[in-house]
Amino acid sequence: MRSIRQFLVANLLIGVLFATNLAILSNLYFGYKTIRPHLDAQMVIMAYSLDAFLQDEAYATKHASGVNARVAHFSTAIQSFPYDDQAYLDELHRSLDNIQFKVFNHRGQLLASSPNAPKLNRAAPMGFGTTTIHQEKWRTFQLVTKKNRRIVIYHPHHTRLYIEENANTKAIIIILLTIPPLGLFLWIIISRSLVSIGQASREIKQRAHNNLNPISTDNIPVEIKPLIAEINSLFDRLHSNFLRESRFAADAAHELKTPLAALKTHVQVAQSMRTAKEIKTCLDKINQGVDRANHTIDQLLTLSRTMPDVHMNAHTLVPLSQVVKQVIAEHAPTALKRDIALSLNDQLPEDAVIFGHDIALQTLMNNLLDNAIRYSPDQTEIHVTLMADHDEYILEVVDQGPGIPQALRERVFERFYRVIGTQQTGTGLGLNIVHQIVALHKGRITLDSVDGGTGLKVRVTLPRPQDIHTHID
């Protein structure tokens, strides 16, 4: 479909034509049914009138020629009546000429005949019939009277057809004549209804490339409103994407400046070193610097991907206990190196599933364990618990590290916020990412001190899916 306007005009016209033709055809059909008996009735009336008129044989014979003469004068006599409408008079003449008759006496001799009756005396069937005389088809009605006289009434077939079809032919012509103005009318009203779409498209066309404000739906027809709403929602997502990308670029530029400057210093120092041992020390530092820069980029990317406005439509059913076990296994070697005991509760709800984003949930667990290991002293314990409550799952990571002072437990969720005096390196993005992921899964996160000791207890609650099947569908 190249043009809605053309499509609508063409199809509406086809529809109108189809409907009117159907009406004409049905009219034609029902017209035949009602007009034919009327025409036949006229023939019967005429036959019986003639019979009544020519009762007496002697009278009939005597007056037959008079009848002939009078009938022959019908058309001229009619002209003497006042008629304004010439077309009507013409039609009347044509009709008068139509019904013809012949009267035969009991010996078969022609007594009377209308002037244009068929010349050949072909035997007509009794009652109604059809006969062809000199290639002209006639509808006939033959009456045999008590005096054994035969009265035959003739009605030309083409006239009957003309009467039956005339009205319909005119209707068809009128309909055909109305098509062009109807098409024009349709074209105008459809064009008017499409004006608002044209306005909306012009508005989009004239926009600056960075103008992602919503298009106004004020004068838009209701049928088009959902389309504009979708475009607006797309604009909204694009706007968030632009913001996210530009924030990522600004953050990356800012956060990578320091490690790159440090790397450059290490490289310069390495260049001035003489012994292989000194150079190796510098290269180790460069290596650590590269790792840190890598980590910063990773965290920034994760942050960007888990922002609340990201429409994470890759939601699936995630087996929570498997995610927890997998991340613990990945951190076990690091913990082991520092003699930190990593443990997981016994009665793990193995069937725990939540409707979410598996990579994001791994990232969440990863950051919590990374913090717990990084900020805990050697030879301590970290205990992870996963429990199922009535309508939520509870994940806890408890360590024996320094904990976070009560006053800072909200602030550590801010981007780039790090507790002053923290010895370990980091970007200050981990807990912000965790917070975003928890929000994405409509959960909650709290930080607490550990009863009877130092350490941090991180508690994440994630809602259990209400109806798993509905979500999967």
| Percentages (nearest 5) of helix, strand, coil residues in the chain | 55, 15, 30
**Minimum distance of ligand ATP from residue 199's CB (angstroms):** 49
**Minimum distance of Mg ion from residue 252's CB (angstroms):** 18
Cβ proximity to ligand ATP, 367 vs 436, nearer residue? 367
**Minimum distance of ligand ATP from residue 431's CB (angstroms):** 3
Largest CA distance in the chain: 161
**Minimum distance of Mg ion from residue 367's CB (angstroms):** 5
Q: Is 367 in the site for ligand ATP (CB under 6 A)?
A: yes
Task: Tell which one of 36, 93, 315, 418 touches ligand ATP (CB under 6 A).
Answer: 418
Task: Tell which one of 403, 430, 443, 455 touches Mg ion (CB under 5 A).
Answer: 430
Q: Total binding residues for ligand ATP by CB under 6 A?
A: 22
Q: What are the distances in angstroms from CA 200 to CA 207, 208, 230, 304?
A: 11, 15, 14, 33
Cβ proximity to Mg ion, 128 vs 417, nearer residue? 417
Task: Tell which one of 129, 402, 463, 465 touches ligand ATP (CB under 6 A).
Answer: 402
- Span near Mg ion by CB under 5 A; candidates 65-73, 87-95, 216-224, 364-372: 364-372
Closest CA to 214 of 202, 199, 198, 203: 203
- Beta strand segments in 4-120, E: 100-104, 110-113
Task: Tell which one of 118, 259, 401, 443 touches ligand ATP (CB under 6 A).
Answer: 401
- Span near Mg ion by CB under 5 A; candidates 168-176, 197-205, 371-379, 462-470: 371-379
User: CA–CA separation, 80 vs 262, rounded Å?
Assistant: 125
CB 431 within 8 A of CB 369: no
Residues 6+ apart with CB under 8 A from 427: 255, 295, 296, 299, 300, 416
Task: Tell which one of 50, 328, 404, 438 touches ligand ATP (CB under 6 A).
Answer: 404
Closest CA to 116 of 131, 144, 130, 96: 96
- Span near ligand ATP by CB under 6 A; candidates 33-41, 185-193, 338-346, 427-435: 427-435
CB 244 within 8 A of CB 307: yes
Q: Is 430 in the site for ligand ATP (CB under 6 A)?
A: yes
Q: Is 399 in the site for ligand ATP (CB under 6 A)?
A: yes
Please choose which of ligand ATP, Mg ion, none residue 456 contacts, taking the beta carbon within 5 to 8 angstroms, the exact cut-off set by kind.
ligand ATP
Task: Tell which one of 371, 400, 436, 461 touches ligand ATP (CB under 6 A).
Answer: 371
Q: Is 426 in the site for ligand ATP (CB under 6 A)?
A: yes
Per-residue contact string for residues 188-217; x = within reach of Mg ion by CB under 5 A: ------------------------------
Cβ proximity to ligand ATP, 396 vs 399, nearer residue? 399
CB 461 within 8 A of CB 392: yes
* Contacting ligand ATP within 298-337 (CB under 6 A): 299
**Minimum distance of Mg ion from residue 436's CB (angstroms):** 14
Q: Is 371 in the site for Mg ion (CB under 5 A)?
A: yes
User: CA–CA separation, 397 vs 456, rounded Å?
Assistant: 8
User: CA–CA separation, 372 vs 374, rounded Å?
Assistant: 6
User: CA–CA separation, 382 vs 342, rounded Å?
Assistant: 5
CB 332 within 8 A of CB 293: no
**Minimum distance of ligand ATP from residue 303's CB (angstroms):** 9
- Residue found under tokens 């005597």: 62
Q: What are the distances in angstroms from CA 161 to CA 41, 116, 136?
A: 16, 19, 13
**Minimum distance of ligand ATP from residue 387's CB (angstroms):** 20
User: CA–CA separation, 252 vs 275, rounded Å?
Assistant: 35
**Minimum distance of Mg ion from residue 429's CB (angstroms):** 7
Angle CA 76–132–47, to nearest 5 = 55
**Minimum distance of ligand ATP from residue 305's CB (angstroms):** 15
Please choose which of Mg ion, ligand ATP, none residue 412 contacts, taking the beta carbon within 5 to 8 angstroms, the exact cut-off set by kind.
ligand ATP
Q: 124-131: which pairs have CB atoms within 8 A and are 24 or more residues apart?
A: 124/152, 128/40, 128/43, 130/157
Closest CA to 293 of 331, 262, 321: 262
Cβ proximity to Mg ion, 321 vs 371, nearer residue? 371
Task: Tell which one of 111, 354, 431, 438 touches ligand ATP (CB under 6 A).
Answer: 431
What residues are paired with 138 via a beta bridge? 131, 156
Cβ proximity to ligand ATP, 315 vs 418, nearer residue? 418
- The footprint of ligand ATP (CB under 6 A) covers 299, 367, 371-372, 375, 399, 401-404, 412, 418-419, 422, 426-432, 456
Give the interface with Mg ion as residue ranges (CB under 5 A).
371, 430
